[in-house]
């Protein structure tokens, strides 16, 4: 029974890594579609989402099957619980990639602006966070996972600044076209910030797999009373 369990866990690992690879590739396509103003690439991102959703369901069903048939304990149970949680993050990151692709199509006419270039700058950091969170999963690298968690503050700060700059731009030029473009741009920044949050969740779950301790939310800024601070302004 133990040998059969280990074989199924290995199969689950392969499916999880396949899903993570597809998600990472689709995020990369989405941000390229925005940066390069490539409508065809944006459509490819949207089309790939069904593949990601299908694999996400398969991973969840496999986790539930292993839990029901083998009732794993200790390290094996921790692994399956972590995969179930990561699986939800993978699916959400996939949805956010689609959202970015859709906004990229809406912004095809947008000329090069300082704000758009600033979004390009944060893209690199978000992609690095996502890659490092997945690498920490593949290699069970706790130090790399912790580095991902620490990097999230920079992305949160970027989004706060972008929110203020977009608001100022709209106040300076309150035309319908400017308002629409700026809100679409802010939406992309928000989706990038959320991808960074999900990458952080994955990294925290890697730490849980390794240590057996729940670290979620412990890397966020806290006030003197130990309460979590608000990370960023909310948008509709």
| pLDDT tens sequence for the chain (236 residues) | 588 888 999 999 999 999 999 999 999 999 999 989 999 999 999 999 999 999 999 999 999 999 998 888 888 899 999 999 999 999 999 999 999 999 999 888 776 667 777 888 889 999 999 999 999 998 999 999 999 999 999 999 999 999 999 999 899 888 888 888 889 999 999 999 999 999 999 999 999 988 877 776 565 554 333 333 334 454 33
Find the domain containing 145 and state its range.
2-211
Supply the DSSP symbol for 222.
B
Chain-centroid distance of CA 161 in Å reads: 20
In CATH, what number is assigned to the domain containing residue 113?
1.20.58.220
Residue 226 to residue 112: CA distance in whole angstroms: 42
Does 165 map to a domain?
yes
What pLDDT sits at residue 230?
A: 39
Residue 130 carries which DSSP code?
H
In a domain, 75, yes or no: yes
How far, in Å, CA of 183 to CA of 179, rounded? 6
- CA–chain centroid gap for 41, Å, is 19
Number of C-beta neighbours around residue 98 at 10 A: 19
Whether 161 maps to a domain, the answer reads: yes
Cα separation values, 99 from 36, 171, 188, 200, Å: 16, 26, 8, 20
Between 2-35 and 114-139, two packed helices, what is the crossing angle to 10 degrees?
170
Can you read off the two tokens belonging to residue 165?
């700059």
Tell me, yes or no, whether 25 lies in a domain: yes
As for how many domains the chain has, the answer is 1
Cα–Cα nearest to 164, from 115, 206, 225, 221 = 115
The pTM of this model reads 0.86
Q: How far apart are the first and last CA of the chain?
A: 51
């Amino acid at each position: 029974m133990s040998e059969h369990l280990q074989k199924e866990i290995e199969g689950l690992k392969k499916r999880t890594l396949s899903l993570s690879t597809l998600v990472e590739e689709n995020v990369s396509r989405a941000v390229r579609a925005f940066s390069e103003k490539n409508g065809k690439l944006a459509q490819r991102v949207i089309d790939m989402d069904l593949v990601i959703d299908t694999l996400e369901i398969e991973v969840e069903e496999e986790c539930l099957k292993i839990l029901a048939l083998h009732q794993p304990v200790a390290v094996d149970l921790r692994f399956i619980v972590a995969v179930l949680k990561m699986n939800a993050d993978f699916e959400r990151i996939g949805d956010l990639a689609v959202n970015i692709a859709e906004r990229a199509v809406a912004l095809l006419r947008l000329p090069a602006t300082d704000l758009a270039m600033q979004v390009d700058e944060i893209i690199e950091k978000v992609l690095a966070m996502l890659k490092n969170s997945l690498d920490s999963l593949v290699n069970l690298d706790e130090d790399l996972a912790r580095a991902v968690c620490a990097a999230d503050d920079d992305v949160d700060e970027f989004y706060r600044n972008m929110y203020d700059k977009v608001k100022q731009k709209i106040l300076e030029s309150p035309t319908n076209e400017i308002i629409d473009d700026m809100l679409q741009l802010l939406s992309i920044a928000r989706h990038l910030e959320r991808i960074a949050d999900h990458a952080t969740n994955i990294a925290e779950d890697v730490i849980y797999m390794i240590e057996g301790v729940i670290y979620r939310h412990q890397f966020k800024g806290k006030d003197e009373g130990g309460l979590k601070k608000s990370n960023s302004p909310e948008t509709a």
